[in-house]
Structure 1
Amino acid sequence: MQLADLGDVRLHYRIDGDPAGAPVVFSNSLGTDLRLWDAVLPLLPQGLKFIRYDMRGHGLSSMPEGPYAMGALVRDAERLLDHLEVRDCVFVGLSIGGMIAQGLAVKRLDQIRALVLSNTGAKIGTKQMWDERIAQIRAHGLDSAADATMERWFGKAFRESAEIALWRNMLTRQPLDGYLGCAAAIGGTDFYTPTSGLRLPALGIAGDADGATPPDLVRETVDLIPGSTFHLIRGAGHLPCVDQPVAYAGALTGFLTQIGHV
């Protein structure tokens, strides 16, 4: 386990693969930690440097007082990559991680050479929707939202497997204030205008059974970036890297190969 002390926050991160390889950075969804990518990494090409981290208030990272702004989450990623001396990475962001990816690309093109916007949007839901979800979870705990979240996260076949209990536990054991702090950041974010100004290789990935960021939202977002491509994974929910890791790794490998990162 490694912690990067970035001043107001300490981020837990992990580096796998080839330490001298071209960097690929992964940013998680709300309510998960860096184990989100466990099933995908062994399926990706060798010779790459894989960097994962827990965003503030999640996993083993510290939990500054919330609520958080998206700018703080983007700055956390920016400072972590500076700390690790990362330039020209492919940044893979899922859900809120995809929002962080968009914000970071707008701010620091020297750090990012290509984007993978997975199960995300330039804007996800409405502020009112997020305020209502935050109020419900603050009153009744994360467990009260767990079953509905599993419905959004995974396709039917995965929800019927024994492994679903592990992901439900991961969600409900996240620090409450960290989850709510990041939920507030999503509710306050609209990246349609800044993302439409991006000019870099981009891939959108969606699951056809995603109840949180439907395929049309992902396609609409990635279409803001000229020359981008879109890939739909059938039978997958909001976390296709978990319930369809082979298909996810295939899409990601194809993109990395296409842009010459491997």
Structure 2
Amino acid sequence: MAFFKAASRTIHYSDRTMGSGPTLVLANSLGTDFRIWDTLLPKLEGIGRIVRYDKRGHGLTDVTEPPYSIQDLSTDLELLVDHAGLDHFLLGGVSIGGMIAQDYAARHPDQVDALVCMDTAPKIGESSLWQDRIDAISANGLDSIADGVMERWFSASFRKNNPAATAGWRNLLARTTQAGYLGCCAAIRDADLTAATLALTVPTLVLCGAEDGATPPALVKSMADAMQNASYVDIPNAGHIPSLEQPQAVADAMNRFFREQGLT
């Protein structure tokens, strides 16, 4: 693990050199930290360097008062990129991390050689849904929604067969700072990246867990179908965070995509 200061804020990140191939930057989902990529990383082929980070109010990164915008969170990613000295790289993200990746690629198209969007969309849900969640958490705390979130994060078979892991990831969610979680909920509530995302020309791989209860496959596939240079892959037996349930299937799709694009 490593840390750097951006003005008065501390940002937690990981910067691992694997070989001589391209750099991959990864942005994580709402209520998680960069450990959600741990089992995926050893299965990736041809990647020279992997940079991960905890977004604002998550993991070991400082929290600021909500609300946030996707642009705020994308600017945090820009600070990481500058700190790491990256000129160009592959960029991937899941859920809100995928929205951050979309916004970053739209604002910095010269830096992003390829994009991987997992279980995400330019617009996720109606604003009223997110406001209801904000209100519920403000009244009753994060723990009050945690069981329902696990049903969206993981397939029924995973929850049944992996009760300890499910409980552990539930702990991660419940221990996220409330301000950071609510700030990111507000960012999703207010974001509609449709115009900018559909204008992207960067090669894009779009993935979705077949049992995702948060961003259903039909929503995610519709983004891929509407983009100019995107392909879609369904990940069977996975919910909203397929890198946790099916890391090999996710790695296979990413490895194939990067090879086809001549990037690894």
In the TM superposition, residue 222 of structure 1 has moved relative to its aligned partner by: 2.1
Aligned amino acid, residue 65 of structure 2: E
Q: Which moved more, 1:190-199 or 1:41-50?
A: 41-50
1:258 aligns with 2:225: no
Question: Mind listing any 5+ residue stretches in structure 1 that lack a counterpart?
Answer: none
Aligned match for 1:210, one of 209, 212, 234 = 212
CA deviation profile, 1:83-119 (whole Å, cap 9, x unmatched): 1111221111100000001100110112211111100
**Separation of aligned partners in 2, 1:224 and 1:206:** 16
Aligned match for 1:249, one of 251, 258, 262 = 251
Q: Within 5 A, what are the aligned runs for 1:1-262?
A: 1-18=1-18, 20-160=20-160, 161=162, 162-262=164-264
In the TM superposition, residue 217 of structure 1 has moved relative to its aligned partner by: 1.0
Q: Which moved more, 1:64-73 or 1:143-152?
A: 64-73
**Separation of aligned partners in 2, 1:139 and 1:78:** 34
**Separation of aligned partners in 1, 2:224 and 2:6:** 31
Aligned amino acid, residue 224 of structure 1: A
**Separation of aligned partners in 2, 1:137 and 1:211:** 19
In the TM superposition, residue 208 of structure 1 has moved relative to its aligned partner by: 1.0
CA deviation profile, 1:47-78 (whole Å, cap 9, x unmatched): 52111000000000011111111110011111
The answer to whether the 8 Å contact 2:121/2:223 transfers is: yes
Q: C-alpha root-mean-square deviation of aligned residues, in Å?
A: 1.2
What TM-score, normalized to structure 1?
A: 0.97
The answer to whether the 8 Å contact 1:207/1:240 transfers is: yes
Rate the CA distance shift 1:47–1:185 in 2: closer, same or farther, 3 A: closer
Dislocated runs of 4+, deviation >6 Å: none
The answer to whether the 8 Å contact 1:117/1:222 transfers is: no
- The 3-state SS of whatever aligns with 2:50 is strand
**Separation of aligned partners in 1, 2:20 and 2:185:** 35
Aligned amino acid, residue 80 of structure 1: L
The answer to whether the 8 Å contact 2:69/2:187 transfers is: yes
Rate the CA distance shift 1:260–1:125 in 2: closer, same or farther, 3 A: same
**Percent identity of paired positions between Structure 1 and Structure 2:** 43
Q: How many residues align?
A: 262
